[in-house]
Structure 1
Amino acid sequence: MHLPSLAAAMLIMLAGSLYPLLFTHADARADHGLALALFMAMSAGFVRGVGFIPAAPLWRWLFSGWACLLALLVAATLKFLH
């Protein structure tokens, strides 16, 4: 298990479930770029967090802890730009 990735995925899941306006612009329009980045971080976090490491190099990188961190940084940048 990789606890930082799993914690990030759980936090995104809970925050998005309890406060869906997290994925919107200030005028209540959906922010698709932010949602994409957060869902990518959540997916990578769950896959890596439970300890699964894919065999293929591309999938291994896409579902790594580093990909989770990168997606979180992209999401934070998009959130602060709007």
Structure 2
Amino acid sequence: MHLPSLAVGLTIMVGGTVYPLMMAKASGHADHGLATLLFWAMSAGFIRGVGFVPHHRTWRWIFSGWACAVALAAAAVARWAA
């Protein structure tokens, strides 16, 4: 298990459930770019967090702990840059 990644995945899941407007623009419309980045971070967090490591190199990178951190950082930049 990789607890930091799992914590990120769980936090995004709970945060998106409790406050779905965190994935919306100021106008109230869905921000699909931000949602994509958050869902990537959440997915990578869950997959790496439970200890699963894909065999194929591409999938291993896409769902790694580093990819989780990169997607989360990109989501933060996308959220506060606009």
Q: Which TM-score band applies after superposition, normalised by the shorter structure? A: over 0.9
**What is the SS of the residue equivalent to 2:6?**
helix
5 Å-filtered alignment, 1:41-60, equals 41-60=41-60
| SS of equivalent to 1:30 | coil
State the shift of 1:62 in Å: 0.5
What is the CA deviation profile of residues 26-66 of structure 1, one whole-angstrom value per residue up to 9, with x for unaligned ones? 11011000000000000000000000000110010001000
1:1-80 aligned at under 5 Å gives the runs 1-80=1-80
Q: Calculate the TM-score normalised by the size of structure 2.
A: 0.98
Task: Give how far 1:81 is off.
Answer: 1.1
The alignment-based identity, stated in percent, is 57
User: Structure 2: 5+ residue runs without aligned partners?
Assistant: none
**d(CA) in 1 for partners of 2:37 and 2:7?**
16
The separation in 2 between residues aligned to 1:79 and 1:56, in whole angstroms, is 32
Which portions of structure 1, spanning 4 or more consecutive aligned residues, are displaced by more than 3 angstroms?
none
The number of residue pairs the alignment matches comes to: 82
